[in-house]
Chain A
Amino acid sequence: MLATHKHATIKYDDIRKSARHIAEDNLPQYLKGKLKLKGVDRAALAAFSIWQNLPERKTDWDWNFASRYCFRYPKAFDLSVWHGNSLCSLTLGRPTFKGTEMRLDFIEKTPLNCLFSGDMFRISLLAYETYGDLIGAKKIRIMEPMNSKLISFYMSYGGFSYVGPKRGNPHYLVRDL
């Protein structure tokens, strides 16, 4: 590993931890102390291995990719949300090439029942906005959302604007940080 790559990995690892910590501290009262925010670490991948064999899971995506992804993109942000020993969700994304916008690329929630299922997207959004803020990004992007009701809602009440697909790039919602 090049010294510069190693330096970036260490530097951004500190920022990732700070972003998770700040987001966890600012969860609303009904979530605070109940949920923990961590990276997509060994424990998360072990819990994911259980998801993989569940018939309820409809996604064909291997989260073991996350460690390679974070090595390839040292500024990427990985997030796992835990309720006790239960993994509630996994999220991955990275800043745009110039680092001016933070992308929230993909969230997967547990295929099992989760008491806080309706909060997972909001928790990821808070953590990604916080990380984006800490790395100096000016905007947050939610990449390729598909649910039209949620798109309309976040455009009407969440301050997001819609950017359509162009030149092979997917659509996204964007908001100033």
Chain B
Amino acid sequence: MTSKDDLEKAKERAKKRAEEIFRPAPPEIEEELKKEKTLGNPKNLVRPDNKNE
């Protein structure tokens, strides 16, 4: 379980980050964000963990 304090801190942080993350980007970037159907590579999901990190 996560403590109430941790949850409150996460809520505060998410509120602040949401303002940054959802700030409108230049039209060219907004277009890329709409256009891209995937992000990342599913092969990384099956790649074994690097135990040093």
Query: B-contacting residues of A (Cβ < 8 Å)?
Result: 11, 14-15, 18-19, 22-23, 25-28, 31, 58-59, 61, 65, 69, 92-94, 96-98, 100-101, 103-109, 111, 117-119, 121-122, 124-126, 129-130, 133-134, 142-147, 149-150, 153, 157-158, 169-170, 177
Contacts and interface: CB of A to CB of B under 8 A. Distances in A.
Given A11-B1, A14-B1, A106-B41, A130 B10 contact: yes
Contacts of A118: 30, 33-34
A170 B41 contact: yes
A105 B11 contact: no
Interface residues of B, number: 37
Nearest to B51: A97
- Shortest beta-carbon contacts, A-B, top 8: A118-B34, A97-B49, A106-B40, A26-B18, A107-B39, A61-B42, A118-B33, A26-B14
Contacts, number: 139
Contacts of B51: 97
A150 B40 contact: no
A50 to B, nearest CB: 15
A109 B35 CA distance: 10
Contacts of A100: 53
Nearest to B22: A28
Given A22-B14, A97-B51, A144 B36 contact: no
